[in-house]
């Protein structure tokens, strides 16, 4: 695996690879690679001839009070994990290489960014859309792999790529989970042992709401309540938001979701100084379907890893 730091060289390398007929896969990351990233890289290696893992902690997407400075960085470990998972190139530019002068250009995606992470982290999605547009411009035609763990980000990136006609196919990959259901995240490293024990409550809340939706709860407020009730069982977990939204538009209907709707359940919560997010797909029960789980807040079993 080759490690590249220069923007122009990365572009030229991938252009030359495509000229010989090779297909390029891109896995954008902020480093601190974990098994969730490894799954993205393996998928890219299955589907592409050249796999670039970018490692860049992007200052634009952190708010002034957020964890940019303390975000975990370990390039040697990232190199080892990326190579083992099948990457052919690791692109690790410095901040000065990516932003040689103050960035005057911002890429914004309206609508999808108004709520949830967009509302709680002002400027976050502008920073994400800007750096991903830049990575897409650098990479050229490719398949780009994003985890569903950051579901709102996935939709924002997909919309940005389509709107700007980047020749990039955005591939969504399922969230990787610990055996107890906690979504894999670089930020899990911040958790104290007690916080780590409490953290799977996010996934349990999502599972409970998904079951409730399948059992006939079709109004967003009802689904939000299910999630809040489960989260309240862990007193050290502070809820930022718990939402039930249309899976494609992220819209919340005034009334109930239509029967059979594909929805997404999303939650953000703080454990001490650490903020975690997670989400889950669900389907609102089809009209006339018999509710199979009449107790929506019951504690779910831990999920299998890789679900």
For the question of residue 120 being annotated catalytic, the response is no
Please count the other Cβ atoms lying within 10 Å of the Cβ belonging to residue 276: 22
Taking CB under 8 A as the criterion, the residue among 140, 181, 214, 220 binding its own copies is: 140
Taking CB under 8 A as the criterion, the residue among 87, 128, 160, 208 binding its own copies is: 160
96 binds its own copies (CB under 8 A): no
Tell which residue, 292, 274, 275, has the closest CA to residue 283.
Answer: 292
110 binds its own copies (CB under 8 A): yes
- Look at the alpha carbons of 243, 247, 249, 251 in this order and tell me if their dihedral is positive or negative: negative
Q: Binders of its own copies among 16-45, rule CB under 8 A?
A: 18-19
- Residue 23 per-residue DSSP state: P
Q: What are φ and ψ of residue 130, in 5° steps?
A: -70, -45
Please say whether the beta carbons of 204 and 300 come within 8 A. yes
Taking CB under 8 A as the criterion, the residue among 27, 39, 129, 199 binding its own copies is: 129
d(C-alpha 145, C-alpha 268), whole Å:
23
**99 Cβ contact list (under 8 Å, min separation 6):** 59, 60
Tokens standing for 95?
A: 């901040």
- CA dist 300 → 70, 84, 279, 303 (Å): 34, 34, 15, 8
From the list 25-33, 43-51, 129-137, 221-229, the region that binds its own copies by CB under 8 A is: 129-137
Cβ distance to its own copies smaller for residue 233 or 249:
249
Count residues contacting its own copies (CB under 8 A)? 36
Taking CB under 8 A as the criterion, the residue among 5, 9, 15, 238 binding its own copies is: 15
Active-site residue, from 37, 89, 124, 203 = 37
164 binds its own copies (CB under 8 A): yes
End-to-end CA separation in angstroms for the chain: 29
From the list 82-90, 157-165, 264-272, 277-285, the region that binds its own copies by CB under 8 A is: 157-165
Taking CB under 8 A as the criterion, the residue among 46, 80, 84, 106 binding its own copies is: 106
Q: At which residue do the structure tokens 């890219």 appear?
A: 44
Just list the catalytic residues: 37
Which residues sit at the interface with its own copies, rule CB under 8 A? 7-8, 11, 15, 18-19, 98-99, 101, 103-112, 129-130, 133-134, 136-138, 140-141, 159-160, 162-167
């Amino acid at each position: 695996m080759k490690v590249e730091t220069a923007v122009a060289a990365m572009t030229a390398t991938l252009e030359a690879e495509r000229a010989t007929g090779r297909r390029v896969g891109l896995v954008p990351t902020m480093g601190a690679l974990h098994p969730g990233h490894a799954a993205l890289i393996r998928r890219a290696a299955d589907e592409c001839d050249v796999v670039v893992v970018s490692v860049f902690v992007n200052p634009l997407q952190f708010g002034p009070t957020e964890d940019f400075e303390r975000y975990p960085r370990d390039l040697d470990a990232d190199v080892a994990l990326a190579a083992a998972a099948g990457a052919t190139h690791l692109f690790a530019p410095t901040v000065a290489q990516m932003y040689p002068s103050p960035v005057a250009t911002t890429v914004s995606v309206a609508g999808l960014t108004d709520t949830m992470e967009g509302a709680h982290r002002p400027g976050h999605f502008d920073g994400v859309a800007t750096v991903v547009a830049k990575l897409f411009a650098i990479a050229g035609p490719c398949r780009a792999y994003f985890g569903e763990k950051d579901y709102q980000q996935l939709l924002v990136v997909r919309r940005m790529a389509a709107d700007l006609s980047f020749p990039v196919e955005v591939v969504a990959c399922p969230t990787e989970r610990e055996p107890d259901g906690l979504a894999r995240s670089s930020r899990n490293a911040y958790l104290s042992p007690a916080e780590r024990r409490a953290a799977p409550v996010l996934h349990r809340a999502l599972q409970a709401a998904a079951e409730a939706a399948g059992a006939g709860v079709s109004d967003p407020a009802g689904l939000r309540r299910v999630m809040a009730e489960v989260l309240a069982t862990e007193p050290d977990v502070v809820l930022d938001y718990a939402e039930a939204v249309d899976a494609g538009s992220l819209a919340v209907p005034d009334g109930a979701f239509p029967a059979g709707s594909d929805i997404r359940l999303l939650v953000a919560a703080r454990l001490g100084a650490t903020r975690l997010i997670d989400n889950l797909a669900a389907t609102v029960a089809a009209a006339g379907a018999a509710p199979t789980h009449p107790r929506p807040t019951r504690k779910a079993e831990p999920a299998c890893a890789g679900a």
